[in-house]
């Protein structure tokens, strides 16, 4: 059975340990461990009962989002994106998008030649480390621009 360590000061789950090393370690069922590992901040230890329960201050409500904004973002990011350094349009959707994503994953090991559809003109481009960086920057810039036009922050959230 898995063993977890509890922070006695806060009664929060600290993490998994290999063996019981003190009274701050407890054995739990595999099922409970699976739920805890998914989101340790959702659980706390009750020293009076010796049980682990959902934390009283845990917000179980799903995040509020506008499905229209999400759908608009997805449709926009799936369009062709121009990469000025390579003078090509690339896309992450469809068969050409699958090929691009594969090439980006392999670029660190060996250059990959892909097919692009740039303004109706079929061309090829070699995706090496430098090209992968340029493509990543184009997607990042486009994503940020789309988010800003939708009124959504592109700042990371912890």
Nearest to 24 by CA among 42, 1, 47: 47
Phi, psi of 51 (to 5 degrees): -110, 155
Question: Who's near 133: CB < 8 A, 6+ residues apart?
Answer: none
**Spatial contact of 153 and 145, defined as CB atoms under 8 Å apart:** no
Q: What is the mean pLDDT of residues 153-158?
A: 60
Average pLDDT over every residue of 54-68: 75
Question: Does the structure show a pLDDT above 80 at 47?
Answer: yes
Residue 39: φ, ψ to 5°: -160, 85
- Beta-carbon contacts of residue 87 (< 8 Å; ≥ 6 apart): 118
Q: Is the pTM of this model over 0.85?
A: no
CB 131 within 8 Å of CB 107: yes
- Residue 83, burial from CB neighbour count under 10 angstroms (0-12, 13-18, 19+): buried
Query: For 29-33, 97-101, 107-111, which range has the lowest pLDDT when averaged over its residues?
Result: 29-33
Question: What is the model's pLDDT at position 64?
Answer: 67
Q: What are the residues whose beta carbons fall under 8 Å from the beta carbon of 108, sequence distance 6 or more?
A: 129, 132
The whole-number pLDDT of residue 7 equals: 92
- Which of 45, 41, 43, 44 is closest to 23 using CA atoms? 45
Residue 158 has pLDDT above 60, yes or no: no
pLDDT band at 154 (very low <50, low <70, confident <90, very high): low
**Least confident residue range of 44-48, 59-63, 113-117:** 59-63
Q: Where are the domains of the chain?
A: 3-54, 67-149
CB 77 within 8 A of CB 88: no
- The phi and psi torsions of 90 (rounded to 5 degrees) equal -125, 160
Segment 101-148, tens digit of pLDDT: 999 999 999 999 999 988 888 989 999 999 999 999 999 999 888 888
């Amino acid at each position: 059975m898995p063993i977890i360590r509890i922070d006695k000061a806060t009664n929060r789950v600290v993490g998994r340990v290999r063996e019981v090393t003190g009274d701050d370690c407890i054995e739990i069922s595999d099922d409970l461990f699976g739920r805890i590992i998914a989101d340790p901040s959702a659980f706390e230890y009750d020293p009076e009962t010796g049980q682990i329960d959902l934390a009283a201050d845990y917000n179980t409500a799903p995040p509020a989002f506008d499905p229209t904004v999400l759908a608009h973002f997805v449709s926009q990011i799936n369009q062709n994106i121009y990469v000025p350094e390579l003078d090509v349009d690339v896309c992450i959707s469809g068969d050409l998008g699958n090929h691009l994503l594969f090439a980006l994953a392999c670029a660190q090991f060996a250059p990959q030649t892909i097919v692009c559809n740039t303004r109706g003109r079929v061309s090829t481009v070699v995706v090496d480390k430098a090209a992968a960086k340029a493509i990543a920057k184009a997607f990042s810039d486009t994503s940020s621009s789309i988010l800003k036009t939708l009124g959504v922050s592109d700042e990371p959230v912890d």
